[in-house]
Amino acid sequence: MRFPEAKAFLESIPKGSRVVLLMDGDADGLSGGKILEYTLRELGVTTQPVFPGKTEYAYLPRVVEQVRAAAPDYLVIVDMGSTPENPYAPTPVLVIDHHRPLGIPPDVVFCSSYKHRPVETSSLICYLVCEEIVVVEEQAWIPLLGVFGDLGSIEAFPYLAPIVKRYGKTHCKRAVSLLNAARRAAAYDVKTAYEALGVANSPKELVTKEHAVLARLRAYKAEVKEAIDEAVRVGPIFSGETAWIRCSSPCLIQGLMASRWANRLLRYRVLASNNGYIPGKIVFSLRSQRDESQIAFLNEVLRDCAVEGAYGFGHDAATGGKLSPRSFATLMQRIGFEDKLVREYLESVA
């Protein structure tokens, strides 16, 4: 058992307790939360999912208030990173994550795969823990979506191959695309994506079944596709070893655009920014196939800067942030992009 601390935490929760599941809104976070919900229900525990809003994370004051309002006896945070602070004390907290930790909160049970090779995704950690507690054979397809969603394949985990064969790789990937469309659409309706995992019994059902929840996901997917089709018309501009992709959309597409271009521009780090997602803010994603830490790159570029916003969460090869126009201008100027280009882009901030 690789995660005994998480198993011990879940098994220690008394029957009848109330547990808040605070999870990220992507396929990995949602599928991890759903496996935990099933397991805790089998243990006689009541769960309530909580979904932070656009660009929010687990340790923001507004999210903390949202969790406290639910009055949980226990809290489990899934796929949302970690910081040195624990604003949820004295509520017992379990953190399950695979990102680079920004710190380990005091007085929490911290379950991380970040230093593992290979690194298990958050949903896979949840599955490996839960299968040691209850029978989750019929739910085994759910964590597959988290693995495919974050890694694109299960290659690093050959023991998952029989489960993929049972449910079909194509159906898994299509299901991931539907789930993630909810968080990428302008509405950021991750609650619908979470509900979808409860109305389907397989990836194929999630993709093909006729149901109002699944119909909403399909509409979100069409909306995101339209936004991407518009964004690909704008090509990159370059400064040194960095390529800049400029987006302006109410949809969360900058990560997709950064990944797409990083797979083509192998010699460059790719920064995709979106000035239409959050009014008055610039959100950006940084991706690269280069053998370097993108978090370290950001930290170096913005060293000694008074930054308005947040950045540097995620992975060494995939990170990003949310900045004020002024701080974003500082970032781009320090990378070496022309002031005129940056100024023209920022003039169209929503």
What is the CATH classification number for the domain harbouring 272? 3.10.310.40
Q: Based on the domain organization, do 208 and 238 belong to the same domain?
A: no
* Residue that is last in its domain, among 173, 193, 220: 220
Alpha-carbon separation of residue 151 from 28, 94, 118, 120 (angstroms): 10, 24, 11, 10
Instruction: Give pTM, 2 decimals.
Output: 0.91
Does a cis peptide bond (omega within 30 degrees of 0) precede residue 118?
yes
Residue-range definition of the domain harbouring residue 255: 233-346
Q: How many distinct structural domains can be found in the chain?
A: 2
Residue 228 lies in a domain: no
Q: At what angle do helices 325-335 and 339-346 cross, to 10 degrees?
A: 160
Q: Based on the domain organization, do 11 and 101 belong to the same domain?
A: yes
Q: Is 97 helix (H, G, I), strand (E, B) or coil?
A: strand
Only one residue has tokens 């500082």, namely: 330
pLDDT of 350 > 80? The answer is no
φ, ψ of residue 34 in degrees (nearest 5): -65, -40
Residue 227 lies in a domain: no
What is the distance between the alpha carbons of residues 301 and 350, in angstroms, rounded to a whole number? 26
- pLDDT tens string 113-123: 988 999 999 99
Q: Based on the domain organization, do 166 and 247 belong to the same domain?
A: no
**Encoding tokens for residue 90?**
């004295």
Mean of pLDDT values over 140-149: 96
**% of the chain exceeding 70 in pLDDT:** 99
Only one residue has tokens 């911290």, namely: 110
Q: Based on the domain organization, do 201 and 64 belong to the same domain?
A: yes
pLDDT of 176 > 80? The answer is yes
Residue 321 lies in a domain: yes
Q: At what angle do helices 169-184 and 141-151 cross, to 10 degrees?
A: 70
The residue type of 144 is L
Q: Contact 255/313 with Cβ under 8 angstroms?
A: no
CA–CA–CA angle 72, 214, 80 (5° rounding): 40
Residue 211 lies in a domain: yes
Average per-residue pLDDT in the chain? 94
Cα radius of gyration (the chain): 20
Instruction: Determine how β-strand 242-247 pairs with β-strand 237-239.
Output: antiparallel
What is the distance between the alpha carbons of residues 32 and 10, in angstroms, rounded to a whole number? 14
Q: Based on the domain organization, do 178 and 239 belong to the same domain?
A: no
Of the candidates 337, 349, 215, 223, the residue with the CA atom closest to the CA atom of residue 278: 349
pLDDT of 1 > 90? The answer is no
- Rounded to the nearest angstrom, the gap between the alpha carbon of residue 127 and the centroid of all alpha carbons in its chain is 17
CB-facing half-sphere around the CA of 264: CA atoms within 13 A: 10
The residue type of 246 is R
What is the CATH classification number for the domain harbouring 112? 3.90.1640.30
Residue 225 lies in a domain: no
Only one residue has tokens 């994370």, namely: 57
CB-facing half-sphere around the CA of 244: CA atoms within 13 A: 20
Alpha-carbon separation of residue 225 from 28, 189, 265, 285, 340 (angstroms): 21, 16, 22, 18, 31
Instruction: List the strands of the sheet with 282-288, edge to edge.
Output: 237-239, 242-247, 269-274, 282-288, 318-323, 309-311
* Residue that is last in its domain, among 168, 189, 220: 220
The residue type of 336 is G
Residue 140 lies in a domain: yes
- pLDDT tens string 210-261: 999 999 999 999 999 999 999 999 999 999 999 999 999 999 999 999 999 9
Q: Based on the domain organization, do 136 and 254 belong to the same domain?
A: no
* Residue that is last in its domain, among 190, 220, 250: 220
